[in-house]
Structure 1
Amino acid sequence: MSTLVRTAPAPAARTRKSHRPLLQAGMPPESVAMRIVKAIVLVLLCAIVIVPFVSVVATSLADQQQITNAGGFVLWPTHPSLLAYKSLFAGGVVTRALVISLLITAVGTAISLAATGTLAYALSRPDSLGHRPLLLIVLTTLLFAPGIIPNYLIVQQLGLLNNYWSLILPVAVNGFNVIVMRAFFMDIPRELTEAARIDGAGEWHVLRHVVLPLSKAVIAVVGLFYAVAYWNAFFNALLYLNDNSKWPLQLVVRSYVIQSVTLSDPLNSGPVPPTDAVQTAILVISIVPILLVYPFLQRHFAKGVLTGAVKN
């Protein structure tokens, strides 16, 4: 009786196909010249982004003679000095404004995430009360923004002038962020929420213990959107805060950079740093805190923003 033996293909035959480049039908392989061109374009784009930031940091560390010789555009300080930063923090104005901005950003982001998350979850449930009218109102805010005078009158009638809540409550909910979170919530399988309801869970329990743990990506992205908006906002503070001791960091930056006003302590006697160095130093101080947050949340961008955006 003959035995049929099934022989496996040789290892070389199995691996030969995997090393072939995957090309679409009718698309020729990319030439070396095209790769070089793409690399050059990528390097130029990176230089356009990085060089101005490097120049700002270098100018903040340079002395007056080097800034004058370079025409205000220093790329590498020959004798770096922290005199501009010491001068800014010595008066106490920048330190106080930095603390105010951090508190406004932290409290405002927490309130905005709570309000946006609950509203987005309600709008993601088709059987919720007033689902369509509320969704229409949110979409309307994307098309028609309120004016400056109506906003000011509302803040004045609520007694929020010269109050930090005037920087948080009027902008606590953003329509675009609500739509993004709603689309993400609608992508969560309904079987999970229905199973929780069968076990006796209410809506708040479903939101806190089922929906939110699965939505860390969109929460991180929307939270970053709100944090950047609170951190960079200065116009509302300019309108609603009359006491300069309550100014956030961005208003202090505006006074230093645009109006060239020095808000340091007049009793502080010592060497005076160059004006350009002080202006660029306070720009660095205003950029670094929010810049440190980006690397930790960057991996959530694609999933948090694009999930459900096409379908919904």
Structure 2
Amino acid sequence: MNRPTIGERIFDFFNSLFMILLCLATLYPFLYVLIASLSDPAWAVQQRGLIWFPHGFNLDAYKLVFDNPMIKTGYMNTLFIVVVGTAINVFMTALGAYGLSRQNVMWKNPIMFFIVFTMFFSGGLIPTYLLVTNLGMLDTLWALIIPGAVSAFNLIIMRTSFQGIPISLEESAKLDGANDFTVLFRIILPLSMPVVAVMILFYGVGHWNSWFSAMIYLRNRELFPLQLVLREILITNSTDSMMTSVGAADKMPIGETIKYATIIVATIPILLLYPFLQKYFVKGVMIGAIKE
């Protein structure tokens, strides 16, 4: 092996330094929120610079967050949306991708044109709102799931992945009497687990982070997802109802740490999902993005 030149060593050094700084810049805001949420409220409020360690380990903010019934209700609503919505998303996307990836399907190119067309042009918010209202889904959790059941971008990725599977496997299965559903669920999908994992990640994270649709379609506070509850706490500063047992002098400091704790509580679950799907992520996207 050739030894690296001085220029290559200098490049590797600055490249590594840049990546380390980039990682720190990306990770530190989350660490700041975590450290502040675990620190003494009075101390955390006074800090204006960088902090690296908690000061006066304190879990009062987390106790108040978990005692808030809206947090618990928001968690349950969000879990329903993520689990049921992601299952419907992956199922519908797989059906559409399979149909559009087969060679003998009529009009598949015009259909793909209209699907791609929706990525650039849509009816807008008002027609969508009227459609949801007329379908009787207003003020229900289904309004957050059904209108976005299929993403055109994800459909294209999955379709391209399905096209890379040899057609001979499908032909052999059909010679043995298999129908299209058998081919899809017992041959195509098991061979496409990396791209399926990516779809679960994309759709799941999208549902977990979504709040705008809930703000538009939901009026019943018992149906609010976690992110909409988080928005109320952070933007409208609605933390007073969580501090009925806190003295007046301590309300402002503990109110700030409640915001930090709420961010951590809303972020940790989706972060825990990434390690299980990370190994499929790059492979699944590349398989779905490049047609051999």
Q: Which band: TM-score by shorter chain?
A: over 0.9
The change in CA–CA distance for 1:33 and 1:152 in structure 2 (over 3 A counts) is same
Q: Is the 8 A contact 2:85 2:145 kept in 1?
A: yes
| CA offsets 1:112-152 (integer angstroms, 9 cap, x no match) | 10000000000001212432232122111111133110110
Corresponding residue for residue 187 of structure 1: 164
Partner of residue 7, structure 1? none
1:170-221 Cα deviation digits (max 9, x unpaired) = 1111000000000000000111111111111111111111101101000000
Q: Which residue among 33, 36, 41 is the counterpart of 2:10?
A: 33
Q: How big is each residue's C-alpha offset from its partner over 1:249-269, in whole Å with a ceiling of 9 and x where there is no partner?
A: 011100010110127467x53
Partners of 2:208 and 2:9 lie apart in 1 by 45
- One-letter identity of the residue aligned with 1:93: M
Alignment partner of 2:27 out of 37, 41, 50: 50
Q: 1:194 to 1:234 in 2, by over 3 A?
A: same
Distance 2:2 2:49 in 1: 50
Letter of the 2:289 counterpart:
A
Aligned residue number for residue 145 of structure 1: 122
Q: State the one-letter code of the partner of 1:108.
A: G
Kept in 2, the 8 Å contact 1:142–1:175? The answer is: yes
The alignment's TM-score, normalised by the length of structure 1, stands at 0.87
SS of the residue aligned with 1:307?
Answer: helix
| Structure 1 CA distance for aligned equivalents of residues 62 and 50 of structure 2 | 18
Q: Which residue of structure 2 aligns with residue 130 of structure 1?
A: 107
Amino acid at match of 2:245: S
After superposition, residues 163-312 of structure 1 pair within 5 angstroms as 163-262=140-239, 264=241, 269-270=245-246, 274-311=254-291
C-alpha distance in 1 between matches for 2:197 and 2:3: 35
Whole-angstrom distance in 2 between the partners of 1:261 and 1:171: 30
Q: How far apart are the structure 2 equivalents of 1:308 and 1:66?
A: 49
- Give the percent of matched residue pairs that are identical in Structure 1 and Structure 2: 38
Aligned equivalents of 1:60, 1:186: Cα separation in 2: 48
TM-score, normalised by the number of residues in structure 2: 0.93
Deviation at 1:30? 5.1
Bigger CA radius of gyration: 1
Change over 3 Å in CA distance of 1:110–1:72 after alignment to 2: farther
1:133/1:282 Cα in 2 relative to 1: closer, same or farther (>3 Å)? same
Does the CA contact (< 8 Å) of 1:98 and 1:249 recur in 2? yes
Q: In structure 1, how many angstroms separate the alpha carbons of the residues matched to 2:288 and 2:68?
A: 50
Give the letter aligned to residue 207 of structure 1.
Answer: L
1:161 equivalenced with 2:141 (yes/no): no
In the TM superposition, residue 243 of structure 1 has moved relative to its aligned partner by 1.2
Secondary structure of 2:52's counterpart equals: coil
Report the count of equivalent residues: 288
Q: Indicate the SS of the match to 2:118.
A: helix
Q: Equivalents in 1 of 2:200, 2:182: separation in Å?
A: 22
Counterpart of 1:103 in 2: which secondary structure? helix
| Structure 2 letter corresponding to 1:77 | P
- Report the RMSD for the aligned CA atoms in angstroms: 2.0
C-alpha distance in 1 between matches for 2:164 and 2:3:
32
Distance 2:284 2:140 in 1: 33
Of 67-76 and 245-254, more deviation after overlay is shown by 67-76
Q: Name the amino acid aligned to 2:60.
A: L
SS at match of 2:58: coil
Segments of 5+ residues of structure 1 without an aligned counterpart are: 1-19
Task: Give 2:23's aligned amino acid.
Answer: C
Preserved contact between residue 100 and residue 248 of structure 1 (Cα < 8 Å): yes
Of the structure 1 ranges 299-308 and 149-158, higher mean CA displacement relative to structure 2 is found in 299-308
Task: Tell me which of 112, 119, 123 is aligned to 2:96.
Answer: 119
